[in-house]
Structure 1
Amino acid sequence: MINKSANYSILAVDDDPTNINVIVSHLKPLNAKMLVATSGAAALEIISSAPPDLIVLDINMPNMSGLEVCRQIKANPANKHIPILFLTGSEKDISEAFAVGGVDYIIKPVRSEELIARVNTHLTLSTLVDSLDKANVMLESVNESLEIKVAERTKDLVAANVNLRREIDERRRLQDKLTYLSNHDFVTRMYNRNSMEIEVRQVMEAAESNDANYYFLFIDLDQFKVVNDTCGHIAGDELLRQVADLLRNLFSNDDIIGRMGGDEFAVLFKLDSLEHAIRRTSAVKDAIEGYRFEWGDEAFKHSLSAALVELDESIDSVSHLMSIAERTCFESKRKGGGEVSVYNYTRQHIDKTHQQMRIIPLIHNAIENDQFTLYFQKITPIVPEERIKIEVLIRLIGNDGKIKPPGQFIPIAERFHIITEIDKWVLKKAFAALADMPSNVQFSINLSGDFIAKSTAAVTIRELAKEHNVTPSQVCFEITETSAISNIQSTHELLATLQPDGFKFALDDFGTGTSSYEYLKELSVDYVKIDGMFVRDIDKDEISQKMVESIAGIAKAKGIKVVAECIETAESLDILRQLNIDYYQGYYEHVPESLVNFRPR
């Protein structure tokens, strides 16, 4: 459930404007006032003049890291209450992030549902703390009033005794109420998230000394927003109360149940085996999905997405458990809802993201310490020509000295938006190598979608070309069809800016998109590289042959040269000759090798 309130203000801090735009876009449903800063200094200046209700802060920023920004914020007593949610590409900074005062973290790339859920949670907690502070002020006022009255009525204790006792009782009731409110959710009267985490921590600490099997069930109601939108928030609150009663009836008094926020609930329970825990979870799922919620003339049924996590020695803290449960529940949501994911069964899939994130520091280290290396593959003309064309390829040198292919690190770099740093590294090294080549040599260099989308892309390329005295016509930039379509406006602008200089462009992996021909007609590229999936079996598959023939015909009608990739047999090459393809590339002609071996003849 999203808490929409224009009264909230959220400060997003990231040195990358693209990330800022992503965060603002994701948080738009909150209808909060968004403040942005692209540096730590700018963030501190904003906070000094208009402290926000919550800060989304990138850890890795130049000049002043997010950790230092957090330290300075928390050093000011006036700002210590502001919750700070860290963004990071690696978990290695998490311990320090919590140590300096962060309340939570999200691993990049940011997912909309996760970001909204985390922000909602901490805004709600912040609001509750503020309410408690106000209540404490009120309590102090009552106490002061009581003490004054006691002093004033000392001379007449007997007459004032009844009223005095009444006021003392009222103070105790108020204290009890405050204690209850601080530990329980107002709507469901269950433990709130903070108290739930405290209870779970105590159980985890006690469980270390015995052989008890504990299981944590995290529940997220599907389609809860439908009730709010259809019948209003009063109806939504009533649904939450009824679901809470259902859960109480399904578990014993020894089990710990809480509302984690929004439409999320959690239960910590003890059973003798995982099999029995799964059966209990199935019973909960059946009960909730079989329940009919009625409001006026409307009736609703809900499914649930849930995560079941067995507590074992691999889970070292409550925050670790919550992170696992939320990620596992997200897997259930991702499947369309109505699913229960058991972490022990899906651990390999869920932990894949964490394994990938461990590669991110390796990529950063490779960029900083020159542990990438360039390879090349020949692009051979069907009809011999003077120009020599090669495609520049990148490889990663592992810590063991072994060469890692791009498939092991490029997709991860793209996913976590650090691919532009690799692009810049390749451009620098390729331009430096090209500076020593004859004028009839042309390098084909791949550009990522993230790099194309940068407003500084053309400037970066021009500056490098000037620095290394590279003739633009010696460079052909390859842009995959998917990247071009995803960044169509940026692609148009890059072509319009650089083609007049003499730079060439190729549309790579052509034919894999849903509107390939439309974009071939729209983009003024110099080359089209037909995706290998159509070429690899061209000598055996008539459909593939017709596809290649069709693409080549349309390209030639526009005056575009055609390159066929993945040529592995002489038979395939003979067919390309018959189709009047201009160039071919593949293992039949040349297996990629180190660029240091390239000797133009």
Structure 2
Amino acid sequence: MTMQDPTPAPSSEAESLRASRLAPRTWALLVLLAGLLCTAEAARRELVAVQSEARAMHRAMGRSAQERLASDLELAAQALRAMQTVFLGSDHVDQAIFDRYQENLRANERMPGHVVTAFARRHPGPSYPYELVTPLAGNEMLLGFDSASQQANLQALERARDTDTVAMSAPFPLMQYRGREGEPALGVTVRLPVYSPGRAPLTVAERRERELGALAISLRLAPTVLGALEGRILEYMHVELRDLDMPDDDGLIHASEPGLQPPADAQVRLVEFGGRRWQLLLWPRAGKTSYSSVAMVALTGTVISLLLALLLWTLANTRRRAVEMGRRMGERFGESEARFRALNELLPALVLLVDARDGHISYANQAARRQLGAVIGQLLPSLFADPALGREALRVAAAGGDWSGREALMVPAQGEPFWAHASLAPVEVDGVPHVLMVANDVSEQRKLTERLGYQAAHDELTGLYNRREFERRLQKALAGLEADPSASFAVLYIDLDQFKLVNDLSGHMAGDQLLVELVQAMRSQLRPQDLLARLGGDEFGLLAPATGPMQARALAERMRHCIEDVVFPWEGRSYTVSASIGVVVADRPGATLKDILAWADSACYQAKENGRNRVQLYREDVDTTRRQGEMEWATRLRRALEEDRLLLDYQEVVPLDPEPGDHAPRVELLLRLRDEDGNVVMPGAFLPAAERYGLMPAIDRWVIRNALANADRLHPCGAGLRAFAINLSGASLEDPGLADYILGCITEYAVQPRRVCLEITETVAVRNLRRVVPVIERLRAAGCRIALDDFGAGMSSFGYLKNLPVDIIKIDGSFIRDLDSDPVSRIIVSAIAQIGHQRGLRVVAEWVDDPRMLPLLRERGVDLAQGFALHCPDRVVFQRDPVPPPR
């Protein structure tokens, strides 16, 4: 009997080994494929998002290009309008006046393509030779040149003359300006007619008869267009600009790449100005859309997939993977070393290597060679504008000291000197001591810093110092007074009277131009040591050193007279303004900056109270004390708003003959304040200060939001409260956003509008009838009710009642208080109730403090009453102290 060998065959062992190796490889491949599929989908979605964002950005750039180009052209129109008013208001404008106004308008700064501003006087023929030109440099050939000889100019001139509007010429070569090739540069002329002094002419015939000549601003098209579109628009977009009023071959104004055909989907924008139409075509540049996020998603997903696959792959061949990884790391290390060698050459900073023994430069990177020239072999101190500074820097660094973060003026072999931010440090190269210098050009940063410093201290419109710089100089003067009590000075607070009228009637551009002229007039009265500043919209401050009371008053009177003497013509109107001036003389130590400004403001306020257009020297009296008390209350009110210390009480409004089932209470909300010590302050103590210092809108908004947010927690009846009334001040009614704010709060807190009653006083409603009526109508349309408070206190109550869309009238308490003893009061109350009922209004009596008044009010048809006889004010529920739980 034979036995079989139980040992398995070798081929079976090999197959098992191959299977054990195959499983990890298969899983690694599957993980890799799944990861790459997920990565592809994520990259596709990111690509769609990037393309959508790019399209949105391109549309935004198209809108911005259109608006910026139109805005830059409008600057020329505004400048011409300003100059036209000068000719309308003056019989004689010479070159000096013409130059001064152009300097004030800053045409060269505000219009990049500005070439010249000129005036051409009309002569028989007609002909229009130029006689006023600024700037004269480069434009001398225009003096005496007949602008009518250029057809494009003549057409624009006649169109502007007959319409009294700005007209722009077709593009034509500017004879006084030539480009790099010697050919005349393409430009346009913006024109506006000049008429004889007087009111603005209204008809074409009158305009032709009164025409004196024409104003013109010449603009080079290339810098005008490039200045409007510079930045991201030209970087990311192809731009083509055409004049649609010219033949196709002649109408091209600008093309970012001439000869490039716009695609069918290019953006088309129309710029209309001065009677001409410019077509702006924009389409994106190729390769400017960044797909880095798509690449990052794809790269990250791929790397993660590979890492997971490689992790599984190590199960099959750990040693081979380690060897392969080592090889790859070696390759990457070699690449990093090569990149490090090239790093110095590619750095934007200036890198110099200096032999510490003799100071000669042995190496300069590409940026240093480009900016400093061939400097290898030169001494390092020779590159400094101050060689002594260069020698000191080299000595300190070679000795191992700290010479870093310093600014120095560098002088290259060729080119302009520049400011550099430099650092020097010792290094050793091949055993030889060297000094490494790294520097950056900071010239533009210094210019920007200086420009920002000027802007931070000056008012942009007038060029005067601003409030911040004025207070800094005033603080310095106070410090000087502390050190030397004889160094007295005066402060003038100048507030223009009725300046707002100019803005309201003729717009803010007219107001700005008037301010510029007033500043010129005031400057003519100053001494060299005086400092004039613009503190606010129409408020100015003057710091006058070494000035006593008599000199200060005389200076203030001169300023007042010079302001009063300015006659400002604008578009057919002539304006004059006056000034109320408060004067403070600081002649003894101890006063603070806050004291001086408060005293000056108080004196100016007193000047306005005494009739305006006058000078008031600060002095301690009852009015001043009251004024300072209001200022203190204004500060306390701001703090109370910040700390949420305002309170609300409610007083019920009771029907005199309630209908069956009419038991739901109605209330009026009353404002209170909790002071710093926890005491409750009545509104009569702080509301005058709130009205004087413009705090009423903020207080009203606090009341509106808190009342609506807690509509069901105002009265103990909760949601059963039928209506609650909120008082609105006159300042709030002048706020154009008031209605939006109220309706927004109603929507936010889901309050039924019919529960909301808004009370306005009769005097405020009558004074601001034009502004109040649209606000009332909008709130009533939303469902709110309007009550006219203090009715009868005004002089024309019944006359205005038919024009005010209100629901409730509240009779002024002065007629209710003596109703039982004054027959006239009874007649007035009866008349108000009768007229109110005829208009369908509810009539409420205020100040009902005696129960004996109730039958008299019922007899006269009054519907509701309010006063201490019916209900004493209580704190709203949501502000009451919580009741402690029982023990």
- Measured against the shorter chain, the TM-score band is 0.5 to 0.7
Q: Indicate yes or no: 2:752 matched with 1:471.
A: yes
What secondary structure is seen at the aligned counterpart in 1 of 2:852?
helix
Q: CA 1:530/1:214 → structure 2, altered by over 3 Å: closer, same or farther?
A: same
Residues 365-412 of structure 1 show CA distances to partners (whole Å, capped at 9, x for unaligned) of 222221111111111110122331100111111111111111222222
The counterpart of 1:398, out of the listed 656, 675, 684, is 675
- 2:692 equivalent in structure 1: 415
Q: CA 1:73/1:428 → structure 2, altered by over 3 Å: closer, same or farther?
A: farther
- 1:198 equivalent in structure 2: 545
The counterpart of 2:627, out of the listed 353, 373, 391, is 353
Q: Indicate yes or no: 2:776 matched with 1:495.
A: yes
8 A contact 1:332–1:339 mirrored in 2? yes
Aligned equivalents of 1:326, 1:598: Cα separation in 2? 38
8 A contact 2:833–2:862 mirrored in 1? yes
The alignment yields a C-alpha RMSD, in angstroms, of 5.2
Matches within 5 A, 1:168-187: 182=528
How many residues are aligned here?
A: 393
Q: CA 1:419/1:544 → structure 2, altered by over 3 Å: closer, same or farther?
A: same
Matches within 5 A, 1:216-295: 217=553, 220=557
Q: Indicate yes or no: 2:872 matched with 1:584.
A: no
The counterpart of 1:335, out of the listed 610, 622, 634, is 610
* Shift of residue 570, structure 1, vs aligned partner: 1.9
* Shift of residue 528, structure 1, vs aligned partner: 0.2
Q: CA 1:94/1:571 → structure 2, altered by over 3 Å: closer, same or farther?
A: farther
What secondary structure is seen at the aligned counterpart in 2 of 1:524?
coil
AA paired with 1:381?
P
Q: CA 1:329/1:120 → structure 2, altered by over 3 Å: closer, same or farther?
A: farther
Aligned equivalents of 1:228, 1:94: Cα separation in 2? 26
8 A contact 1:372–1:394 mirrored in 2? yes
8 A contact 1:310–1:344 mirrored in 2? no
* Shift of residue 519, structure 1, vs aligned partner: 1.8
8 A contact 2:560–2:613 mirrored in 1? no
Q: Indicate yes or no: 2:698 matched with 1:424.
A: no
* Shift of residue 442, structure 1, vs aligned partner: 0.7
Q: Percent identity?
A: 26
Aligned equivalents of 2:516, 2:597: Cα separation in 1? 16
Aligned equivalents of 1:77, 1:539: Cα separation in 2? 71
What secondary structure is seen at the aligned counterpart in 2 of 1:364?
helix
Q: CA 1:393/1:337 → structure 2, altered by over 3 Å: closer, same or farther?
A: closer
8 A contact 1:183–1:194 mirrored in 2? no
AA paired with 1:474?
R
Aligned equivalents of 1:308, 1:127: Cα separation in 2? 20
The counterpart of 1:378, out of the listed 645, 649, 652, is 652
8 A contact 1:537–1:572 mirrored in 2? no
What secondary structure is seen at the aligned counterpart in 2 of 1:549?
helix
- 1:551 equivalent in structure 2: 832
* Shift of residue 589, structure 1, vs aligned partner: 1.3
- 2:643 equivalent in structure 1: 369
Aligned equivalents of 1:363, 1:543: Cα separation in 2? 41
What secondary structure is seen at the aligned counterpart in 1 of 2:858?
helix
The counterpart of 1:529, out of the listed 810, 815, 822, is 810
Matches within 5 A, 1:6-85: 8=104, 75-77=452-454, 82=459, 83=463
* Shift of residue 566, structure 1, vs aligned partner: 0.5
Aligned equivalents of 2:835, 2:543: Cα separation in 1? 64
Give the structure-2-normalised TM-score. Answer: 0.38
* Shift of residue 506, structure 1, vs aligned partner: 0.4
AA paired with 1:75?
L
AA paired with 2:681?
K
Q: CA 1:526/1:73 → structure 2, altered by over 3 Å: closer, same or farther?
A: farther
Q: CA 1:97/1:386 → structure 2, altered by over 3 Å: closer, same or farther?
A: farther
Residues 278-337 of structure 1 show CA distances to partners (whole Å, capped at 9, x for unaligned) of xxxxxxxxxxxxxxxxxxxxxxxxxx99979795556557x9669746854763564358
Residues 236-257 of structure 1 show CA distances to partners (whole Å, capped at 9, x for unaligned) of xxxxxxxxxxxxxxxxxxxxxx
* Shift of residue 182, structure 1, vs aligned partner: 3.4
Q: Indicate yes or no: 2:729 matched with 1:448.
A: yes
Q: CA 1:120/1:541 → structure 2, altered by over 3 Å: closer, same or farther?
A: farther
- 2:403 equivalent in structure 1: none
Segment drifting more, 358-367 vs 476-485: 358-367
* Shift of residue 197, structure 1, vs aligned partner: 2.3
Q: Which runs of 5+ in 2 are unaligned?
A: 1-85, 90-99, 107-447, 477-489, 501-510, 532-539, 568-576, 881-887
Aligned equivalents of 1:372, 1:565: Cα separation in 2? 24
Q: Which has the higher contact order (CA 8 A, sep 6+)?
A: 1
Q: CA 1:94/1:465 → structure 2, altered by over 3 Å: closer, same or farther?
A: farther
What secondary structure is seen at the aligned counterpart in 1 of 2:710?
helix
* Shift of residue 486, structure 1, vs aligned partner: 2.7
Q: Which runs of 5+ in 1 are unaligned?
A: 11-70, 130-179, 186-192, 204-212, 231-261, 265-303
Aligned equivalents of 2:529, 2:633: Cα separation in 1? 41
AA paired with 1:220?
E
Q: CA 1:84/1:423 → structure 2, altered by over 3 Å: closer, same or farther?
A: farther
- 2:60 equivalent in structure 1: none
Q: Indicate yes or no: 2:519 matched with 1:123.
A: yes
The counterpart of 2:719, out of the listed 429, 438, 448, is 438
Q: CA 1:578/1:395 → structure 2, altered by over 3 Å: closer, same or farther?
A: same
Aligned equivalents of 1:440, 1:487: Cα separation in 2? 32
Q: CA 1:533/1:228 → structure 2, altered by over 3 Å: closer, same or farther?
A: same
8 A contact 1:217–1:306 mirrored in 2? no
What secondary structure is seen at the aligned counterpart in 1 of 2:653?
strand
* Shift of residue 342, structure 1, vs aligned partner: 6.6
8 A contact 2:491–2:541 mirrored in 1? no
Q: CA 1:495/1:322 → structure 2, altered by over 3 Å: closer, same or farther?
A: closer
Q: CA 1:530/1:74 → structure 2, altered by over 3 Å: closer, same or farther?
A: farther
Q: Indicate yes or no: 2:845 matched with 1:568.
A: no
8 A contact 1:221–1:263 mirrored in 2? no
Aligned equivalents of 2:809, 2:637: Cα separation in 1? 30
